[in-house]
Chain A
Amino acid sequence: MLGLNQRDTKFLLIVVALTLFTPILLQPFPSDSGLAQFNAGYPDLMQRFAIFGIFAIGFNILFGLTGYLSFGHAAFLGVGSYSTVWMFKLLNYNVLPGLVLAIIVSGLFALLIGFVSLRRSGIYFSILTLAFAQMSFNLAYSVLTPITNGETGLQVYNDDPQILLGENGITTTHFFGFKMNASWIADVGPWQFTFNFGYYFSAVIAILAFYLSLRIFRSPFGLMLRAVKSNQQRMNYTGLSSRPYTLAAFVISGMYAGLAGGLLASMDPLAGAERMQWTASGEVVLMTILGGAGTLMGPVLGAGFIKYFENIFSKINDQVLHGWFAFLPDGLENAIIWVLHPFVGKGWHLTLGILFMLVVVFLPGGLVELGQRIRNLFRRKPDSEDDSNHKPQHAPHAAE
């Protein structure tokens, strides 16, 4: 089906089902129970899962397949956001023109940066992309203020042209009349599920993005990219120039990032320069590695994991901890909380950093590899046939 073999079709269907039922799956605890704060099924967070999923899927097409580690992908995210907000300012709040423009502009931007950066590989490529992204960030903050609105961030004002808005036009972001913030809340017993249009809009795009990346992974083009990763020198010796392929991968992943940026702006019509900062580029690297670079599902898992951490784990404060350990004697309770305190709440970055290091050291394949190892533990026999497609092949990069 859809040009996929049977196993991939099944895989895609599972992903689709998971995505569609996310509002239910992420809301496992009744809303009046003590664990309700671990529910992640609220629109804002679910939208982020989908959007950063797209960002990470795109990054994975570049890093996972070709091994080129870009430290400047956030630039495309920012460019996408700016383009979309500009469309809101000029036309109206319909997200479609904005998203299209975001993809086009970030694609062109990626073509330019990629054309220059891909002349070098290895660490030099990382530094070049980093330099370009930091340049864009600094410019967006200072000189390009007429376009980016500098520190305030770009937003829609009442005196903007908005030529298509009309008299009684919708004043929130919408897709042909369906508002992004429209939600339908279902109460099932003690559970409360929120079905948000914005989430489903992003989710459908994310599924399309996932499908496209699946096709790329299985295509001759994808195979060529893998060949670049495993031995670029040999490719060059056979008389084949690999640059067009890597450039194509770079542009595609830049467009994914632009799309993600456009969606971010669609959910909340704001764009700030900090979206282009190199910490944001670092975040997508973290997501991809944490989930499993070079695997299909890994980056999405990584994106979900980090966003869950950022929004849920960071809310565990001392009070919550006291609630959990109340059954212990006071001294022990305080001691445990004293130990845990730096790692939870505002210190969630610390836990994330430690987890990330552990993953890089012990689990180069990320969460996906962890899942496979656990599964193999129960099966007690390695199923090599099933693994080969999803596991990153450990091979030195061309520049080493």
Chain B
Amino acid sequence: MDVILLQILNGLDKGSAYALIALGLTLIFGTLGVVNFAHGALFMIGAFCSVTLQRLLSFSYKTIDPTKVDFLGNPATVKTPYVVSWFGENAGASIIDWSVPLAILFSIPIMIAFGFIMERGLIKHFYKRPHADQILVTFGLAIVLQEIIKALYGANPIPTPAPDIFFGSYDFGALLGFAENTISYPYWRMVYFLFSLVVIGAVFSFLQFTTFGMVVRAGMADRETVGLLGIDIDKRFTFMFGLAAAVTGIAGVMYAPINSPNYHMGMDFLVLSFVVVVVGGMGSLPGAVLAGFLLGVLESFASMNAIKNIIPGIDQIIIYLVAILILLTRPRGLMGRKGVMEE
């Protein structure tokens, strides 16, 4: 029992990342009808937003401290971050410590602007072209973005620690009456899971309870009619593209402490998140979220030793296997709408 619970918990944080990326992907597909292969790159850019902010905040100046000497006997140079000298010792240090959560605020305008530029500058010209062309051009864009990040930040993963307060893990086992240390769950992963729930909730309530969201939903259902009613639907869809980019971006920001950002993380997640979207049903937002969590948990179950001993290698292929089965038996995915991307 405790093993099963542990696997569910382990699956949830990866599932949250899948769900958030798939949500962004589906928002773009559902509104604009564009298959965005550069979506993984947006996730990566988000993660690098936290790296950037951490670096910006720890920007330091050097002073020579005559009271200390280094090992050669010269006066030691001491690096003081500007933030510390502006806000004082304690406040400055904790600002640096909290740079990953702060990067959410930092990344949202960047990601929205990025989404706008991408949609207006490139994607706009591809609405009338075949889906294959959309895949190809966004695939090219993904390569370009990935290489730019590689040129700027190098090829190695960059450790981006979470705030100190989230260091360590919480012992769920003790809480639920199991033996101690059987189910311990890192705090940051818990934060990530809750954070993803908040973001998903926010996106859904935005679509469900605001006028803007209502118009967008109407546009997703029947773009032409909404246009005939005198609403500039294109402008709203452009905004939705920016929003989708922001959702994916902050998913990346918060994921940075779990997995040190490197330049090919986007591509790694892209393939999986496409599988997630297809399993959930192309164009269905709840489907994307559901499939994200489901596949995350399934993946973590498959990596249990008990299961790996029965079917070796299942942990490596479970997601693809599920995708193939779903596509062949339920072509529309778990919750796909009728008439979306069908022959």
Contact = CB atoms under 8 A, between A and B. Distances in A.
A joins B in a complex: yes
B282 A399 contact: no
Contacts of B312: 142-143
B151 A353 contact: no
Interface in B206-225: none
Nearest to A139: B313
Nearest to B264: A279
A352 B323 contact: no
Contact of B140 (A122, A130, A360): A360
Contacts of A285: 136, 139
Contacts of B274: 127, 130
A205 to B, nearest CB: 29
A131 B323 contact: yes
A25 interface: no
Interface residues on B, range: 35 or more
A218 interface: no
A398 interface: yes
A352 B324 contact: no
B144 A357 contact: yes
Contacts of B278: 123-124, 127
A397 B144 CA distance: 27
Contacts of A134: 271, 320
B226 to A, nearest CB: 21
B137 interface: yes
Contacts of B140: 353-354, 356-357, 360
A386 interface: no
Contacts of A278: 271
B343 to A, nearest CB: 6
Q: How large is the interface on A (under 10, 10 to 19, 20 to 34, 35 or more residues)?
A: 35 or more
Question: Chain A at the B interface: mostly helix, strand, loop or mixed?
Answer: helix
Given A69-B135, A123-B35, A399 B148 contact: no
A350 B136 CA distance: 15
Nearest to A348: B147
Interface stretch (A80-88, A96-104, A113-121): A113-121
| SS class, residues of chain B in contact with chain A | helix
Nearest to A279: B267
Interface stretch (B1-9, B59-67, B124-132): B124-132
A264 interface: no
B316 A116 contact: no
A132 B341 CA distance: 21
A140 to B, nearest CB: 10
Contacts of B271: 130, 134, 278
B133 A128 contact: no
A233 interface: yes
Interface string B277-318: 010001000000000000000000000000000001100110
Interface in B246-298: 267, 271, 274-275, 278, 282
21 contacts: A67-B132, A116-B324, A120-B331, A122-B341, A123-B131, A123-B135, A123-B278, A123-B341, A124-B278, A124-B341, A127-B274, A128-B327, A131-B275, A135-B317, A138-B317, A139-B317, A141-B316, A347-B150, A360-B136, A361-B122, A400-B130
Closest 3 CB pairs of A and B: A143-B313, A353-B143, A138-B316
Given A69-B135, A354-B144, 19 more contacts: A116-B324, A116-B328, A123-B131, A124-B278, A127-B278, A127-B323, A135-B317, A139-B316, A142-B316, A143-B312, A232-B343, A285-B136, A350-B144, A350-B147, A350-B151, A357-B144, A360-B140, A399-B131, A399-B342
